[in-house]
Structure 1
């Protein structure tokens, strides 16, 4: 009889357990004040809940029949709490490692491509590539350093004959703050000249430059010597590099050497017209002297900058073949020197062979070849980015603007 009571009591507890489990599974709450058994796996969707009910009920009934429900519930709750804590710790570590991986990503630029050398070129040794290698061409900068009312101080870091790197302290636009680390590059003023021959061709260089990838097209150009006017520098550069000049310069040469017919036109009579077909044994240096003797010293404006158009001697004929296209700062805030742009039209040969024999530039890269382009070719080259320096492209664009009638007369379309 005692066994029957125990069996009945067990059956009653099982029935009560079924009711509580049914309420927990179907209604999502606790019944009769008794805590439901802990969830051992994620909540299922409605489509899977029927299959889940049987597993839940069977497990709980086994616990109730063995009189271990409360102990099992307590142990399971503690185990679940420990597992939850471990999961949180693991998730936190994963987040930390993920953040570290993002923070340590290498965002540095890729290494530059290897230097290609043909078989005729010697390979670069490690000593020649060293950043501590000695530099050539060092000296004292020959130009006029820039400063204005906002310049507080200037410290020179390094200089050569043609350039200088400074650190300026500059007064801010508010008039009180000072920018003490203003990097500024001084560079000698330079000229660019677009040369258009009497035959209607544009003379262009194809060359390589240290800071330009691959080959580029360029006009004639070079630094202005100390005490030289921009216009004289333009004439000298065209003469040295191409042996060309204006028709007026040609007449001046004939006038200068009219008693030395054997040195010009190969002994033919010296004519006063603009015939460019003669040859000469004159040296470039002699013609440069004629250009310099007939030129004017540079004129300076209120900022101490040379004017590329004004003349120190008034009422002298202008050379109609030379067109002044303007003066331009190459880097608005960082210096870079000033560029004077010119166009030479109707260019004629002044010396045979084109320029100084074995012409050696002024320390810059000067390995170049000459090509002739018509106007359409120049426009296509401009549009295609073949002139890879902005000063060259701008000077050619200004020349095309003038030739096509777009350059206003106010800008001084003719020069000395």
Structure 2
């Protein structure tokens, strides 16, 4: 029995040494790494990026210190300051606007809260969310054979790939009109224009787009009457022709958008979005329109208006 006790005691001593010199240190290392990992997660959550902090600073609704988030307040105080973006468009203020406050702006959009009078001026609707955008254009392009030119592309706000019209923002900084923007966008995105315009490149007579029968102005429309969204100017260009390369600069092409007549299934790139230019005849265009192939309502409405003039 004595020898057996001695053996058991020796085994217990060996197990204790094993725990002391191997397992316990491993547990300690694991616990330390876990604490560092949790600290990094907490630090990441509590320290927004400079861009997010800039948006927090710009928002009047988030400027109150009543939230009690001391870590967030400290991050706001210590983060680098970024210049506030300035919206390029004209603010919407009507006779029913009682007050207006900006939540956040970019150069092309402004998210705001308005207080709006009722029509009979008997009361005010507070906190009316207003999302304004730079005015923009859509152009339906049809060549001399009656074929239509569209883009096939993906857009962030759409559920799948869609057909799209030529379009873009009006250059408000240059005082550009909607009609001028329509003509510019067709040149930049399709490398096309009116045949009358092309003829003017070798003529002594200046080009007068207002007397060009190939341009049809389809109107100017508010995108979302209760929420903003800017105004859309829509145009139809009939008998469109490709601009000879030597006249691209003269036509106003500045190297933006897809440009230079990317046609017949070739791919282009505009504003970071891949675009496939497609050509459809009248029958295919109508079928695609009625089947919902133009997933944005502005493209659908512009095309439907153009078809009424053809």
Same fold by TM-score, threshold 0.5 exceeded? yes
Change (3 A) 1:351 1:153: farther
Listed as ranges, the matches of 1:90-239 within 5 Å are 134=51, 139-226=85-172, 227-239=175-187
Change (3 A) 1:388 1:329: same
Listed as ranges, the matches of 1:217-366 within 5 Å are 217-226=163-172, 227-255=175-203, 318-352=211-245, 359=257, 364-366=271-273
2:300 is the counterpart of 1:383: no
Number of the residue aligned with 2:277: 370
Give structure 1 stretches of 5+ with no counterpart.
Answer: 1-126, 257-271, 273-289, 296-316, 404-416
Number of the residue aligned with 2:39: none
**Could you say what secondary structure the match of 1:212 adopts?**
coil
1:362-392 Cα distance to aligned partner (Å, 9 max, x none): 9955321100000011111111111000000
Distance 2:139 2:49 in 1: 37
Query: How far did residue 138 of structure 1 move?
Result: 7.1
Query: How far did residue 326 of structure 1 move?
Result: 1.0
Give structure 2 stretches of 5+ with no counterpart.
Answer: 1-43, 56-82, 260-268
Matched residues, number:
220
**Could you say what secondary structure the match of 2:295 adopts?**
coil
Query: How far did residue 240 of structure 1 move?
Result: 0.4
Query: How far did residue 400 of structure 1 move?
Result: 0.8
Give 1 or 2 for the bigger CA radius of gyration.
1
Query: How far did residue 139 of structure 1 move?
Result: 2.4
Q: Contact (CA 8 Å) 1:243, 1:356: kept in 2 or not?
A: no
Q: Contact (CA 8 Å) 2:257, 2:271: kept in 1 or not?
A: no
Change (3 A) 1:358 1:160: closer
Distance 1:372 1:330 in 2: 27
Structure number having the greater strand percentage:
2
TM-score using structure 1 length: 0.49
CA RMSD, Structure 1 to Structure 2 (Å): 3.0
Distance 2:243 2:192 in 1: 5
